[in-house]
Every structure is written in structure tokens, then in C-alpha cells.
Structure 1
Amino acid sequence: MSSVISAPEPQLLRRVSNSAVLDFMRASRAVTVTEIMKATGLARATAISVCEELVERGWIRELENQRAFGEYRKGRPARRFELNESAGFVLGVDVGIAKVTAVVSNLRGQTVGRSSQPFPGVRITAEDRIPGTQITAGERLAIIDQTAMTALQDAGALADMVLAVTIGIAAPVDRNGDVLATQHFWELFDLDIKTAFKDLRGWTVLLENDANLAALGERWHGEAAGVDDVVVILSSERFGSGVIDGGRLLHGSHGGAGELAFLKYVEGVGNTFGIALMARTWASETLAGKTRSSLRKHPREEISAEHVFAAAAEGDALALRILDRLADRMARVIGAVATIFNPELVVIGGAVAKSAGVLLGPIAERLGEFTATPPRIAVSPLGESIVAVGAIRSALDYVEKNSLDLNLRVPSAAE
């Protein structure tokens, strides 16, 4: 029995050619038709035709037909094209329990707008992990929307120029973008954000766990660039981790891969409270007694992790003891994570990462006590932007995968 293999349809071939040219343009600056032919294997006539189609659709633009100063050659100068990086925008949004941050990026991944806004009435403590004053889901959605629109205004972009939005939340999210709301804390993020913004703004919204986005951001622009086996631990207010194994982000069956609730069973840890929360909690508890410390110049209720790290740098004995406790705690956390996932690298991320570099040496010294496979340890250079950076990468991935199915907004003559 013989089988006949049909030739690809012309429409499919055209789509493949368009994708190849657009992918090359994203990775390049101004290029000539000859360079496009060399990169994609297309014939000259096809390359020119594809470029003209992509120009018409708005994805790329043709540059002014001129030679560089002092250059002389017979004939017309080569036609040059480049990505129209402002043809559309993506939004990366980090929705925490206490505040929301929105970042706008152009199609090259360059940040062009940003906004951040707190949720009112939120105070996080070790005694009461859930804020005592709650705001409604509608109020929370309104603040998220306001923050996103302010970021777009900062970028000089209109809402209908947004091609995709990725929102990171502090709860497990499965591959379909559904929230695993089996704990009260996670329920606070089950706002049906995708439907709300589709109805309100017409946006395509991708929902993802914040630590997973942190891992994507770190691998894109951080210490984990080029590393295929890495765990990024968000460690400011609470612990959460994103796991990349063999270059692939792990989700698990319900989005729970990387969740660290098991830490309450780890000796010397006992909960998921992060570096910033424990630093200020331990400082406040100790200062309730008569211990001498330069930290007393701050009101107890206003002491932050940054104050503790700064006092330790000045040799304050109390602050140094707290850092020692933090290093021991982090060694146990990283040891547990390393035993489960066996990464090459563990990155400490979040707003506290900038200060946490001083902990790397003490953590590394203790790590062998808690795992037979100690990884390299680093702190993220992305600071509190780590989740938003990953959200931008996620949204760009969506746009790049679906470019030929997206319609760009064409400005009117009045604009």
C-alpha cells in the first residue's frame, strides 16, 4: 500500500516564510534583503514580497533608501528593513498582596512605561499573614486596572495597542491559567482577572504564578541566563519558588510545582515567611527587651530588613545575630529545595535580594549540612522588578508565537 505526501499549501509556505523573516528581524537591527535571504534561505523575490507584506501589516518598516556617508557604489542602494518595535506593546503586571506594579514593554522587550500602587489597608506580620483590613475583589481589580493604565500613559501608548498582558499572582496557577484556590491566602488572588480585563479592555491576559515568572525573568535578564536547571526563590515577604528543569518551566498537575508550603515541616524553618518579614520580626521582638542596638533609633513598628542589613554592615551585634539566623534559615530552605529539584543554580530574588548578597558566604558554608547536592547560589540583580520582567517575557513569548494571527492597530491620519 503506497502513500502520497502532499506538497505544502502555498498559504502555509507563505506563513512559514513570514515567521522566519519576522523572527530574524526581532533578533537584528536594520538588515538588507540580502541578509534576510542568507538568514532564512528565501529567494530574493520571496524575501522582498514577504518584507513588503510585513510592512503593510505594520510589523516591520522600511528605512530611508540612502547610503552611509562617504560610501559610493553604482546602482540603487540596498533596501533595508527593521522591526517596528512600537507597533504594539505588552504589559507585565505583578499583583502582590500589598501592592501592584505594571510595566510596559515595546516589541524588543525594552521597558517604556511603569507604575506601582499599594492596596489600601494592608499590613503583613508574622502573627497575621493575611491582612487585617480586606478590600473587595472589585476594588482590587479597579486598582490593578488603574495601575496598568497609568503605566500605559507613562509609555505614551493606548490601551488598544496592547497585544498581550501577563499577570503574576502569589498563588499556584495551572497550565490553563486557573488558580489553585485551596488555601485562604491563595483565594485572595482568585479574581477572574482574565475575564475582567477581556471584558473591560479587550486584552488577552495570561495568568501565571509570580515565582514562575521570576524564574523566566531571571533566565532572560538575570544571573540564570543560559542556565537550564535553576530554582529562583522569592524570599522577601514569603517564600515561593519557580523551577526550570532542562530549560522547561515546571507547573505540575495543578500549578503547584515549586510551592514551598512543605517548609513548615522543615526543622529550623517551620513556615514560609521570607527574609524581609523575619528580619523585621526578629528585630522587633529583640528590641522589646533591653538589648542595646543602633536599630533603636528607628520606631520598632517601622524597622525594615534594609535597616537590619545596614546596621549589620556597621557592626551592630544584634543585627549581626539576625543575619546569622537568616543565613541558617536560608541554608535549610535552599538545602530542601536542592534535595528535591537538584538545580545547578539557586537564585535568591525579590526586593530584598540587593541586601541579601551578604548572606551568600554564610549560606554556602552551611549548605552541605542540609543537602548532598549543594548548588551554586546567587542573588538576583533584578530586585523588586523580577516578577514584572518575567511577565514581560511571558507576554512577548505569546506575541512572538502568535504574531501572524494578531492585528496591529493602525493609527489614523489625525494621530
Structure 2
Amino acid sequence: MPEMPLATPSLLRRVSAGAVLEFMRLSGAVTVTEVMDATGLTRATAISVCEDLKDRGWIRELENQRAFGDYQKGRPARRFELNHRAGVVMGLDIGYSKVTAVVADLRGKTVARLSRRFDVADLTAVQRISFIDQVAMTALESAAAGPEEVLAVCAGVAAPVDRHGDVLATQKFWGLFDIDLRASLKDLRGWTVLLENDANLAALGDRWLGAAAGVDDVVVILASERLGSGVIDGGRLLHGSRGSAGELAFLDLVQGVGDTYGIAHLARTWAAEAVAGPARTSLRAHARDGAEAEQVFAAAASGDAVAQDILERLADRMARVIGTVATMYNPELVVIGGAVANSAGVLLDPIAARLPEFTATPPRIAVSPLGDAMVTVGAVRAALDYVEKNSLDLELSTTVS
């Protein structure tokens, strides 16, 4: 077994600082007593940590003004709040054809967001890094922030990533993301870059601000073009020995599924097949550009028999997918996410009705309210966690009052 780190004063101080910053990120102005209650620190330690964080620029002390109607005697309690403008974090969602960058303050509030498609698909690693860097820098410019203010970056990629941040490149598609992004952005901008699987970040993001908030056992399925999942068990994100714990390649072997194509891809494909045939359907109105999932669902709601058949096929397929995942991981909740989540709520009831056919432990099902922002939300959260954990080792470029 690996040796546990010794609980040295330095380590304990770092852990205490992280706990205080996390509490202040979730709170407004707080007193030392409230810090003690939230973190379990003694008064002396809480005061010491707050003083240290104030001196380093992470938090601010507010004026001691007693609230109106507060007639207690004695000196007003000291109050502190997070200096949320002391720096920024960045979340990146790096797909095969598109890059999305989000800049957030230290409370996790989005300050700027930018998405751009790669100019061409077959870029070299150097060209991809250059493009990602351009998107990141443009987003920073929109946020009126400089590269020196970035305290951490977390990037999600469509490939397994192990605990050390290395991409598992055993498949050709996964190898497209093995571009040495961490070292490259470190050399270019001096940034600390955390690399993670996109579905894992989607799980972190939804558990933070989505349908899975407060749920300790959850599987989040990115379901738009291809299916991928992130698994949280007992509040802990599962990676596996090489980072592929949530991979769904086994669906190739599941009866009635057979591949990892997602809801958006299949709705579009099946609609095109129907339009090419003799069936009467309102989907022909979209024949030129192709009907998307949202249009198929809308047509089904208006009574189109062809669209309703597609919806039934999608529900059956997703019930088999979720049933298999539920049997393997036994989650309390399965969340359907990705851009398709904005319209996939219509599938929930028919999926739930079929689930008992495919698992003895059917979970609750929900769609994420985060839509296609799930990955960047999770990336921002992972970057914030890193900053809070390492606050005593990070130097702020400036102290903003």
C-alpha cells in the first residue's frame, strides 16, 4: 500500500486554508465563528488561517459595522469575504471539431465563454495546441483578464485520462487528444493545466450545479453524438487503473444497442432514413438540412407517427444502455447530458417504463439543466478545487481590493 502523507504542520495548514476558501466561495461575508462551525477549526487556527489568506490577497476583511437593530455589547465580530477577483480559472472542453473556453472568477461565476470550431479536421498536434491557445487567450481578453491572472486550467478531452493526467491513446480517436497539452500551455503561458476525460468532468459539473447536486452515487451520460459516461460512487469520481472506468465501448456487445452512437446522431440518422422512404411525415420539411433531435421530438409531440416511432426506438435503446450501466454501477441517479439534454426530457417517462426489463435496480433518471455546458462547468469546478487545495503554494499576480 502507498504510504500516507504525514500530517505535518505545513500539510495541516494547507488543508485548513483550502477548507476556509471553499467555505468562503459558497458564502458571503462570514465571521470567524462561522468559519469555525463550517470547517471544525479551533478559533486560534481559524483566525491564523484567515489572517494568512488576507495577507496573501485571497480574502478581504470588511469594515466592522454592526447590523441595524443589533444591540449586543462589545466589539463587533470581524467579517471576511472571498476576494473573488484575485485571479481567474479556466475550463476547456476540447472536442474533435470544437474548442470551448470558459473563464470564471474564484466563486465559479462565468466571466467569459467562447466556442470555436477547428478550421480543418486533420490538424497536427502543434496546430491544435496553437488553436486551443488562441481560443483561450481570446476568452481571457473578453474577460478583461491577463494570462498572468490564470491560477489553474482544467481541460476535458474525449479520451480516457489516468490519475496522472496522461491520455490513454490505445485507440486512433483517443490518440488525437494525446498532444502534450499540459506541457505546451505551461511553456507558452506558465499555466498549470489539469487534464481529465470530458464525461468525468460532466459528472463533476452536474453534481455541482445540475440535476445530481447532492447525490453521491450517480452516472452522467453524455448522449448527443456519442455515448460516454462519468461515474461517481460514494461521492468519489471513478477513474480505473488507466482512466477508462466510465467508457461505454462494451455497448457494442449489448443486445439492442450495438454501438456508442448517441441520441442526436441516431435521431438525425433515423429521420433521414424515414424521409428517404415512402412514409408520410412532417420531417420532410427538414429534408434539405436534415432533421435534428429537437425537431424529431417536436414532430412526435404534434402527433407525427414516424417521429413517434423514432422516439420509441430511442427510448428503448437508452433504457438498455441505462439498464446495463445501472446493473454494473448501481447508481441512485442517471443523468442524461450534453446538448441533446435540452429536449430529451420527453424520453424520461418511456425510458423509466422500460427500465425494469433490463435491470433489477432501476435508478431515477433526469436530464441535466446544464446542456452542453456540463463539461466546462465541471472543468471550472476541478480548477477551483485545485486552487483551493494549493492556495498557499500559489502567488497571486495582483491583490484586487
Q: Is the 8 A contact 1:335 1:370 kept in 2?
A: yes
Q: Deviations over 1:234-263 (max 9, x none)?
A: 110000011111111111111111111111
Q: Does 1:166 align with 2:165?
A: no
Work out whether residues 64 and 77 of structure 2, in 8 Å CA contact, stay in contact via their aligned partners in 1: yes
Alignment of 1:282 with 2:270, yes or no, is yes
Other-structure match for 1:234: 222
CA distance in 2, matches of 1:47, 1:344: 36
Deviations 1:5-46, CA, capped at 9 Å, x for gaps: xxx9776676566455444433432123454466555446x6
**Which structure 2 residues correspond to residues 13-28 of structure 1 after superposition, within 5 A?**
18-19=17-18, 21-28=20-27
Q: Unaligned stretches of 5+ in structure 1?
A: 1-7, 122-132
Task: Report Cα offsets for 1:99-140 as digits up to 9, x if no partner.
Answer: 11111111112212111111234xxxxxxxxxxx42222222
* Bigger relative contact order, structure 1 or 2 (CA pairs below 8 A, ≥6 apart): 2
- What is the aligned partner in structure 2 of residue 268 from structure 1? 256
2:153 counterpart of 1:153: no
Give the equivalent residue in structure 1 for 2:94. Answer: 95
**Deviation (angstroms), 1:223:** 1.3
Partner of 1:217: 205
> Which structure has the greater CA radius of gyration?
1
Distance 2:233 2:43 in 1: 39
Structure 1 residue aligned with 2:165, among 150, 162, 177? Answer: 177
Structure 1 residue 71, shift from structure 2 partner: 5.7
For residue 150 of structure 1, report the CA deviation from its aligned partner: 2.1
Q: Which residue of 2 aligns with 1:307?
A: 295
TM-score, normalisation: structure 1? 0.88
Q: Is the Cα–Cα contact under 8 Å of residues 103 and 388 in structure 1 kept in the other structure?
A: yes
**Aligned partners of 1:160 and 1:305: how far apart in 2?**
42
Distance 1:201 1:64 in 2: 37
Deviations 1:56-92 (A, max 9, x none): 2101112234344566677664432211111111111
Matched, 1:250 2:238: yes
Which AA in structure 1 matches 2:133? D
Q: How many residues align?
A: 394
1:138 lines up with 2:126 in the alignment:
yes
Identity between Structure 1 and Structure 2 (%): 71
Counterpart Cα distance in 2 of 1:38 and 1:226: 20
1:53 is aligned to 52
Structure 2 partner of 1:351? 339
Contact persistence 2:87–2:150 (CA under 8 A): yes
Q: Give the conservation status (yes or no) of the 8 Å contact 2:17–2:49.
A: yes
In the alignment, residue 119 of structure 1 is paired with which amino acid? F
* Residue ranges of structure 2 left out of the alignment (5+ in a row): 1-6
Paired letter, 2:90:
L
Q: Is the 8 A contact 1:284 1:300 kept in 2?
A: no
Residues 18, 390 of structure 2: 8 Å contact kept: no
Alignment-derived partner of residue 82 in structure 2: 83
Please name the residue that 1:292 is paired with: 280
> Are the counterparts in 2 of residues 284 and 301 from structure 1 also a CA contact under 8 Å?
no
What secondary structure, in the 3-state scheme, does the structure 2 residue paired with 1:302 have? Answer: coil
CA distance in 2, matches of 1:190, 1:399: 25
Q: Which residue of 2 aligns with 1:360?
A: 348
**Residues 246 and 69 (structure 1 numbering): CA distance in 2 closer, same or farther, change over 3 Å?**
closer
Give the partner amino acid of 2:296: V
SS at 1:278 equivalent: helix
TM-score, length-normalised on structure 2?
Answer: 0.91
The alignment status of 1:190 with 2:178, answered yes or no, reads yes
Quick one: which of 350, 363, 370 aligns to 2:358?
Answer: 370
Report SS of the residue matched to 2:390.
Answer: helix
Does the 8 Å CA contact 2:57/2:399 hold for their aligned counterparts?
Answer: no
Q: Please give the per-residue CA displacement for 1:176-228, whole angstroms capped at 9, x wherever unaligned.
A: 11111111111111111111111111110111101111111111111111211
- Pairwise CA RMSD: 2.3
